[in-house]
Structures are given as C-alpha cells and as structure tokens.
Structure 1
Amino acid sequence: MTKLVDEVMAAALELSHGGRWERALALLDAAPQEAGIALAAAEVALDRDWWVGTGTAGERLVAAEKAGAGGWALDFLRLRNDYLQLIHPVGGNFQPGPWGKDPDAIDGLERRGEGLRQTAPGQVEGGWAEMYLGLIADNLRADREAAPAHYEAALAAGAGRDDLLAREALRHLGDHDHDNGDQALALDRWQRATALGAGAGRVTGTLSQQLLLAVLARDAGDEAGAVALAAEVRRWADALGAIRIRDNAAGFLAGVDPTAAPEEAVA
C-alpha cells in the first residue's frame, strides 16, 4: 500500500505541475486518506492558489495536520502559503496582500524561514528555505542586495538534485542580472530556467519563463518577436486557467513591464 500511495502522490504532483489541479485533487481525494496524501493535497491546492488566485490551501493545510502530517514539510508549506497571502491576496494580481505592509508579519515570516533553514532534513530542503529567504528579502523587504546570496545558495543545493529548485533560483538570479543591465547573463539564466522547468513538467512555470524571454526580446528591440511570444503565452495560460500568467501576458502586450515593482509598472 505504501508504494501505491507514493505513486499516487507523485502522479498528483505531476498533474499539478501541468496545470491539472482539479484532476490532481480528485486523484488524491480518491486515495486512502493518510498524512502524506493530505499533505500532497495541500501542496496541489497551494500551487493552484498561486496560479489561479483561489484560496483553498489554508483549509487543506488544516486537514493535513488533522490527518497526522507534521514536521518540516508541513511547516514549509505553511510558510509558502503565508508568503503567498502577503503578496497575492485572493482575487488580486501580484499586489501586496493584507500583511504586505506589516513589518511584524514580515519579521515573523523571515524568522520562520531561518528556522526552516537551520532544521532542514537535507540539502535540497535547506535550499528551498534559502529560496524563500531570498523571496522574502526581494519581494517583501525590497532588499535587492540581500536576496541574490540566498538564490545562489538555493541554486547550489538544487543543481543536479532538484530541477525545480534550480529553476526557481535561476529565474530570480536572472531577474537581478536584468535589473543590473547584464542582458546576456539574464538570457542564459532564463533560458536554463525555462529548460529545467519544461523538463520537470512545470507547464505554468515554463509559460512564466517564456514571458521573461519576451521581456528580453523587447529590450533588444525585437518588438514583433516579443509580442508574438507573449500572445502565445497569454493563449496557453488562458486555456489552462492560469489567470495570473494570462493577466501578466496581457499587461505585457499593453506595454507593462512584468519585471518591474508594482509601483513602477506602467502601461
């Protein structure tokens, strides 16, 4: 039974990475209900919340704890969910959430991230904690100087071990390269991130990476190429129901820079 449960969890997460969140949750809800299944369902719900703007991960996390889930994995999912609430309120689009201006909430989230880094059961888990410490520095503290060191540590932890972790680190390091005017390095990192995400079956992440490649095409003066790529991203994202990518692509087509801070992005 353990082998079956493991395979069901793996299949559900792969479905989630492909944007098939409802099918993934249906599969998990039909499986024998135990801690691992409930935890996987919380992860799928969180993934859907991120891309679609729903708000169901919280109740799934409560259900996972009631099913016996605990420890580092549950705490990390809670951290990810709370981070999501800070930057993407339900029904919003990449804007500060209800805690986004609350220094105490940000401090608490950062302390939890540090704790997860210190108690990580393995190198990859420690890398994911580093990744979120970088995101907190970048997106909640606007500390652009502190974030890259966390991303570099995440990349070192993920390289050859976890393609999705490496992809996330490369994506955000490339963002810093882009801001620093190093378009060649940004292109290299963003292309590598795109390939890693695609290889891992991360359809939504691959689409979001393609939009960043459209940014570089626009920066290089290839407006026709940038528009063509962004239009396809919007079409695919709309078909998947990935509302946040769709809206970002639509904004790009209207002249908005999706790499800019919210207060800097203008049509």
Structure 2
Amino acid sequence: MTNTTSALRTSVDLDELIAAARELSLAARWPRALGLLESTAVAEPADRARLALAATEVALESDWFAGTDLAPARIGAAAELLPEDDWDLGFARLRHAYYRLLRVDGSVRFGPDGKDPAALHAIRQEAYALRDRAPDEVRGGWASMYLGLIIDNQFGEVDAAPAHYTAALEAGESGPDPLLAREALRHLGGHDHDTGAHDRALERWRRATALGAGAGNVPGTLSQQLLLAMLARDTGDEPGARALATEVARWAGAIGAGRLAAQATNFLAGADPMGPPKETESVG
C-alpha cells in the first residue's frame, strides 16, 4: 500500500491578509505582523509593493512604541518597488523623519533647539506637499495631523498647531478613520489641558480612548489611559491616578511597549507625561 502526501494549498485575499497584519500591529504583535507580511509570496510587482508598504507601517509602529529600529530597512525595500513620488511611501518617510528629529543625541527633545534647521524646514515643507497632493480626504487628514505635530513639537509653534489637528479630526470623522480621529483628539486635548480647560480635555481624551479601543489600538489606548491618569492627578484624585498608571505600566510592559511602560513608571515617580520625555519614555 502506497501512502501519498499532498500539500494543502490555501488562497487568502491580499486585502484581507494586509488588514489582518495591520490589526496584529495595532494589537502590539509587531513581529507576528511582519512575519505574516514578509512570508507571503506574490508574483505581481504591485502586490509586492503593497506588502512592502504594509511592512513599513508595522515597522514604524514597532519603532515608536517598542524602541526598535526596523523602519529604515523596510522603507528602503518599499522604495525599490514604488515610484519616488508615491504618496504612501512619502508619508512613511515623513513619519520616520519626524520620529528621528524628536531624538537628539540619544534623548527626546521638543522644539527646534539643537536640530538641523535645514532638516526642520524640509520636513515641514514635505508635510505641506503631502497634504496638498493627498489622493483622498483621509490621507490628507493624516498629512494635516503630522503637519500639526511638526509645527507643535519640532518648531514649538503651539498656537498654530490646533488648526491642523482640527482639520485632521474633521477628515477622521467624515472618512471615517477612527485612528485619525483618535490621534487628533489626543493632541487637541493636550492643548486643552495646557490652557487649563480640563473638562474639555477630559471629554476629548475619553473619546480618543474609546476610538482607539474600538479600532483595536492596544498601545495607543494605554497611552490615552495614562493621560486620563494625569487628569485624575490634576483634579486631586492621586489614588485613582496611581492605580490607573500602575496598570498601564504593567500592561505596556507585558505587550513589549517598553517606552510607554517607562513613561507610566516615571509618572508614578512624579513626572508629567505631557512634558518632555526622558530617553526611555514614549513620545506618542
């Protein structure tokens, strides 16, 4: 009797596979998401480019929350498969440049001091260009979001940034893109907090927390919870603030979001999570 073994062949829609990888990334399963994308063999150059872009997005999230250095190689791989003027590739480069400019001499630094003026000018101009040539409203909203972040955190022009966050929020709500709306609400709430409008900040941060959780954004939801802990401290509820921050530190450590875990630990030691982070803190 002869036994024969046949290989089981399966076919998965590429859209569904990329969506699954993105959801894994949002759940802080960055190595699994990259493994899924990079183990998928496709024949068409356009499909290879889509996989490479998705891997770049995962790498950017991992670098942001876990402190890895995966994005440069993935951006380079995507650039080999895409035209130089591809919008999504340009946006990935913008995100990475923003992240790199926040880190000066091994520490996180807000504002323009100690940074290359030419690099700052270039990233600002690129954000405007991406916004103006965005192929749809949501991507234009993401460019507005990063334009606000650049103006706010790289140039220190705090009064000019909220208009860009508001444009991003409008795009996120009409898109709809809950992650974009969440990001905009997070930073609009930060400006509310800084001007003493704590009730307005609480409203926006609660909405941001719910939107992030609904979209499956685990580290982003934890970072929002830490801001809610800060508001609890501001309003005199120190036990509540400490209880929430303790759990954020525990959960962030468990999922490998080391910078967020450090930020929560520093908050428990008295640090302001809205202030300039230490070298090991999350900046997102």
**TM-score normalised over the length of structure 2:** 0.88
Quote the RMSD (CA, aligned, Å): 2.1
C-alpha deviations, 1:105-143, integer Å up to 9, x for none? 111000000000110001111100100010001100011
Pick aligned residue for 2:172 from 158, 161, 180: 158
User: 1:9 matched to which residue of 2?
Assistant: 18
Pick aligned residue for 2:58 from 22, 36, 44: 44
Deviation, 1:156, is 0.5
Pick aligned residue for 2:38 from 29, 36, 44: 29
Does the 8 A contact of 2:25 with 2:61 survive in 1?
A: yes
Does the 8 A contact of 1:5 with 1:32 survive in 2?
A: no
Residues 100, 20 of structure 1: CA spacing in aligned structure 2 closer, same or farther, 3 A cutoff? farther
Aligned-residue sequence identity (percent) comes to 56
Q: Distance in 2 between matches of 1:88 and 1:251?
A: 18
User: 1:65 matched to which residue of 2?
Assistant: 79
User: 2:258 matched to which residue of 1?
Assistant: 243
Task: Write the mapping of 1:56-135 to structure 2, written as runs, cut at 5 A.
Answer: 56-68=70-82, 71-88=86-103, 92=106, 94-95=108-109, 101-135=115-149
Deviation, 1:100, is 5.8
Deviation, 1:182, is 0.4
Deviation, 1:54, is 1.1
C-alpha deviations, 1:180-238, integer Å up to 9, x for none? 00000000000000000000000000000000000000000000000000000000000
Q: Which has the higher helix share?
A: 1
| 2:69 is the counterpart of 1:55 | yes
C-alpha deviations, 1:148-185, integer Å up to 9, x for none? 00000000111041000000000000000000000000
Does the 8 A contact of 1:193 with 1:209 survive in 2?
A: yes
Residues 96, 253 of structure 1: CA spacing in aligned structure 2 closer, same or farther, 3 A cutoff? same
Pick aligned residue for 2:271 from 237, 256, 266: 256
Q: Distance in 1 between matches of 2:22 and 2:54?
A: 7
What SS class does the counterpart of residue 159 from structure 2 fall into? coil
User: 1:231 matched to which residue of 2?
Assistant: 246
Q: Distance in 2 between matches of 1:25 and 1:123?
A: 28
Does the 8 A contact of 2:230 with 2:272 survive in 1?
A: yes
Residues 183, 98 of structure 1: CA spacing in aligned structure 2 closer, same or farther, 3 A cutoff? closer
Higher relative contact order (CA 8 A, sep 6+): 2
Does the 8 A contact of 1:99 with 1:105 survive in 2?
A: no
Deviation, 1:42, is 0.7
Deviation, 1:5, is 1.3
Residues 100, 163 of structure 1: CA spacing in aligned structure 2 closer, same or farther, 3 A cutoff? farther
* Matched AA of 2:146: Y
* Matched AA of 1:178: H
Runs (4+) off by over 4 Å: 96-100
Q: Distance in 2 between matches of 1:3 and 1:124?
A: 27
* Matched AA of 2:238: E
Task: Write the mapping of 1:189-208 to structure 2, written as runs, cut at 5 A.
Answer: 189-208=204-223
| 2:29 is the counterpart of 1:20 | yes
User: 2:281 matched to which residue of 1?
Assistant: none
Pick aligned residue for 1:146 from 149, 153, 160: 160
Deviation, 1:55, is 1.1
Q: Distance in 2 between matches of 1:157 and 1:224?
A: 38
Moved more, 181-190 or 152-161: 152-161
Pick aligned residue for 1:216 from 222, 228, 231: 231
Higher-Rg member (1/2):
2
Count of residues in correspondence between the two structures: 262
